[in-house]
């Protein structure tokens, strides 16, 4: 009998038709009126934050608004939201606005039509093509390499943290592991944390460090390739299997660096550059057609929407 998988998502199969969901306690967070949720309800246990598409009262600004999960420590969320402003790069969802003093915590990033990676697999009907997996992997590895060089650990990478847009992925959910529980406390089973993307040393309460980001990157690549963050042996594509397996090593010392993962995924020189290895991969056709259509549909729906009780796109 097949044993239950330790990962969060299970097989990537077409999702059921979206259905309306109850509104949050308020239709407004900070100065923004909520339009819709970004994540479908079945993904909520493994999405680190509550995420909404929202619009300013004057209609001039549309943002992706992030707020802590019910029961989360708002102070830890606020600390990580502030720290996230240090994470920069072309493949980052940048934090541009924070809650003010005395407000319940939230932060905003500029809105781009985007699908969380689990939603993209559901729309596509299964694992993504290798070209797409390599492109998103290179973009995320580039971001992690730059962060690690600055002494930053992302500590929040998971399939839900990767947003797919028409021109490339965007990395979000900075600091979700640190926000979930302080160092020294067990993080296994904490709401919002994807167990398949949590490095063993972090699950037991260890301080998030770069090797934990690499473990999470391996889980993202595995999920995009197979529909599981912890795939069975032989399930990974042969061209990516050894690299992904090395990222998922239980011993942090056995994992490659983000730079080594980037080198293993990126096309060989001279087709890439030091500053942007993902550029040669993120060309027309990098996303499957169904995913592109779903992103376009979301864009049209948000443009036409009036702020109201959030519903699914």
- Looking at per-residue pLDDT, the higher value among 103 and 18 belongs to 103
Q: What is the pLDDT of residue 267?
A: 67
Residue ranges of the chain that CATH labels 3.30.200.20: 28-113+296-304
Which pLDDT tens digit goes with each residue over 180-218?
Answer: 999 999 998 888 899 999 999 999 999 999 999 999 999
Whose CA is closest to 154, among 106, 100, 95, 111? 95
The CA-atom distances, in angstroms, between 85 and each of 14, 143, 304 are 35, 14, 30
Report helix, strand and coil shares of the chain as percent, to nearest 5: 35, 15, 50
Q: What is the pLDDT of residue 2?
A: 36
pLDDT for 271 beyond 70: no
pLDDT for 63 beyond 50: yes
Kindly report which listed range (60-74, 141-155, 238-252, 274-288) carries the lowest average pLDDT score.
274-288
Residue ranges of the chain that CATH labels 1.10.510.10: 115-289
pLDDT for 67 beyond 60: yes
How many CB atoms within 10 Å of residue 3?
Answer: 6
Number of H helices, E strands in the chain: 9, 9
pLDDT for 165 beyond 80: yes
pLDDT for 12 beyond 70: no
- DSSP labels, 9-66: S-S--PPPPP---PPPS-SEETTEEEEEESS-GGGGGG-SEEEEEEEETTS--EEEEE
* pTM assigned to the model: 0.88
Whose CA is closest to 14, among 259, 294, 222, 207? 294
The CA-atom distances, in angstroms, between 41 and each of 187, 307, 311, 313 are 22, 20, 11, 12
Q: What is the pLDDT of residue 266?
A: 86
Q: What is the pLDDT of residue 159?
A: 96
Which pLDDT tens digit goes with each residue over 31-49?
Answer: 999 999 999 876 667 899 9
What is the arithmetic mean of pLDDT over 276-300?
89
Class of domain 115-289: mainly alpha
What is the arithmetic mean of pLDDT over 281-302?
94
Q: What is the pLDDT of residue 25?
A: 46
pLDDT confidence band for 268 (50 / 70 / 90)? low
pLDDT for 59 beyond 60: yes
pLDDT for 93 beyond 60: yes
Class of domain 28-113+296-304: alpha beta
Q: What is the pLDDT of residue 11?
A: 41
pLDDT for 24 beyond 80: no
Q: Output the average pLDDT for the chain.
A: 88
pLDDT for 61 beyond 90: yes
pLDDT confidence band for 23 (50 / 70 / 90)? very low
% of the chain exceeding 70 in pLDDT: 85
pLDDT confidence band for 269 (50 / 70 / 90)? low
Which pLDDT tens digit goes with each residue over 213-223?
Answer: 999 999 999 99
pLDDT for 262 beyond 80: yes
Q: For residues 94 and 63, what is the distance between their CA atoms, to the nearest angstrom?
A: 11
């Amino acid at each position: 009998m097949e044993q239950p998988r330790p990962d969060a998502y299970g097989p990537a199969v077409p999702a059921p038709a979206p259905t309306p969901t109850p509104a949050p306690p308020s239709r407004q967070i900070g100065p923004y009126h909520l339009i819709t949720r970004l994540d479908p309800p079945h993904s909520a246990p493994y999405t680190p934050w509550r995420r909404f598409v929202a619009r300013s009262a004057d209609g001039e600004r549309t943002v992706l608004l992030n707020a802590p999960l019910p029961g989360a420590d708002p102070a830890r969320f606020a600390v990580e939201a502030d720290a996230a402003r240090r994470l920069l790069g072309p493949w980052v969802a940048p934090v541009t606005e924070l809650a003010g003093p005395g407000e319940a915590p939230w932060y905003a990033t500029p809105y781009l039509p985007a699908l969380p990676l689990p939603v993209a697999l559901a729309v596509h009907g299964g694992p993504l093509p290798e070209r797409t997996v390599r492109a998103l992997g290179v973009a995320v590895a580039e971001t992690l390499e730059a962060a690690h060089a600055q002494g930053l650990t992302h500590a929040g990478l998971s399939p839900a943290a990767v947003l797919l847009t028409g021109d490339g992925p965007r990395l979000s959910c900075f600091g979700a592991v640190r926000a979930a529980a302080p160092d020294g406390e067990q993080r296994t089973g904490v709401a919002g944390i994807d167990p398949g993307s949590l490095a063993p040393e972090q699950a037991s309460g260890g301080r998030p460090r770069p090797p934990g980001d690499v473990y999470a990157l391996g889980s993202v690549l595995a999920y995009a390739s197979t529909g599981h963050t912890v795939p069975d042996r032989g399930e990974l594509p042969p061209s990516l299997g050894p690299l992904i397996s090395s990222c998922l090593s239980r011993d942090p010392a056995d994992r490659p660096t983000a730079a080594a993962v980037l080198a293993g995924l990126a096309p060989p020189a001279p087709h890439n550059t030091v500053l942007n290895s993902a550029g040669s991969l993120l060309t027309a056709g990098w996303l499957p057609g169904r995913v592109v259509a779903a992103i376009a549909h979301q864009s049209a729906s948000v443009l036409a929407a009036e702020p109201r009780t959030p519903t699914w796109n």
